[in-house]
Amino acid sequence: MSDRSSFTPRTDGPKVVITDFDYGNVDVEKGILEAAGAEVIALQAKSEADLFDAARDCAAMMNQYARIGKDVISRMEKCEVIARYGVGVDIVDIKAASDRGILVTNVQDYCTEEVADHAISMWLTLARKLPDYDRATHAGIWRWQSGKPVYRLRGRTMGVVSFGKIGQAIGDRARAFGVDVIAYDPFLPASVAAEHDVELVSKADLLARSDYILMQAPMTPDTRHFLSDAEFAAMKEGAILVNTGRGPTVDNKALYRALTEGHLAAAGLDDPEEEPAKRADWSPDGNPIFTLPNVIVTPHAAYYSEESILAARVTAATQVAKVLTGQRPDYALNTDALAATTH
């Protein structure tokens, strides 16, 4: 990639394609990008093929749920940056982008508090059997036994899978309820775990010791079905699972078996395995998880607050505006790979 230090602002109206969005409008993005001299084209793509035509002459592409893979990137003739509205970039082929000299950016640290709050809320809701009590009272049943058995939290063990900033925030919150926190994260320095007074353990150890498992794992080839039949069988009987990470890290068919056979007590999912937002057509009828009363599912909403949504939109658009006006973006993910291609 060429040196941008002497780059002057664009005046020829570079095209910025927003692949998809569910914010209601793209006024925030337009305000930032049009001020940088760009033209904004907003789509609602549900497949890569929907992006083929737009890819050819775009200077930038921003995506929320739509995948930007090799087939799209190979058609890009002018693109300088692909910007993801969020932390995870598993739906962007970073290698293909790097091979074509295209920067990839994301949005970092915008929803740590929201996701941690959501995970803890799900855990407490399930541990205290609030859905059971709520269904019973609405049916006219006024008995404390409606949620039986409920166990004291203090003194139990919570295992956190992936102990990055969000995992750390989850652990810090959980400790206030008197649980012991352990974590599995093969990439975390021991010094960081020590700062948070958390014991780093193996995957097998975490499964065997945890009364509650809170998943915050990113989506990679290694984490797909990180929890499946063997892992559920290795968990404590009566364990509770909460996943506020990527949906496909949990094998939903195996989870259904573990829940219906009584080995696990309950589960909270912020996204089922099929990730409905990434599908053109979706119905809960295709996933039996939705039939279970001891499962809470939220629509990939853990990251959401009015403040976090605004921060994501502003930050993502700002990354694009900076690149198109010759400035260094704040959250470039593949600068090393691009530098290597120029030598």
Check if 275 is active-site: yes
Cα-flanking dihedrals φ and ψ of residue 327, to 5°? Answer: -100, 165
**CATH superfamily of domain region 15-110+305-341:** NAD(P)-binding Rossmann-like Domain (3.40.50.720)
Spatial contact of 204 and 161, defined as CB atoms under 8 Å apart: no
How many angstroms separate the Cα of 99 from the Cα of each of 96, 307, 341?
5, 35, 7
Enumerate the domain spans of the chain: 15-110+305-341, 112-297
One-letter identity of residue 20: D
Distances (CA, A) of 106 to 89, 158, 174, 182: 7, 30, 28, 29
Is 246 assigned a catalytic role? yes
Catalytic residue among 67, 84, 118, 246: 246
What are the CB-based long-range contacts (under 8 Å, 24+) for 51-55? 51/17, 51/19, 54/15, 54/17, 55/17, 55/79
- Answer yes or no: CATH 3.40.50.720 is held by domain 112-297: yes
Q: What is the structure's pLDDT at 11?
A: 47
Is 307 assigned a catalytic role?
no
* CA R_g for the chain: 22
SS3 195: helix
Which candidate in 39, 199, 274, 275 is catalytic?
Answer: 275
DSSP letters, 217-261, are ----TTTTTSBSHHHHHHSPTTEEEEE-S-GGGB-HHHHHHHHHT
Partners of 268 in beta bridges: 242, 296
300, 306, 313, 343: the catalytic one is 300
First to last CA, the chain: 10
Identical fold at 15-110+305-341 and 112-297?
yes
Each residue's pLDDT, cut to its tens digit, for the chain (343 residues) gives 444 433 344 446 999 999 999 999 999 999 999 999 999 999 999 899 999 999 999 999 999 999 999 999 999 999 999 999 999 899 999 999 999 999 999 999 999 999 999 999 999 999 999 999 999 999 999 999 999 999 999 999 999 999 999 999 999 999 999 999 999 999 999 999 999 999 999 999 999 999 999 999 998 989 999 999 999 999 999 999 999 999 999 999 999 999 999 999 999 999 999 999 888 889 999 999 999 999 999 999 999 999 999 999 999 999 999 999 999 999 999 998 888 765 5
pLDDT of 79: 98
The tokens describing 207, both together, are 């499964």
What is the C-alpha separation between 88 and 300, in angstroms, rounded?
A: 13
Which two tokens mark 318? 């700002």
Q: What is the pLDDT of residue 339?
A: 80
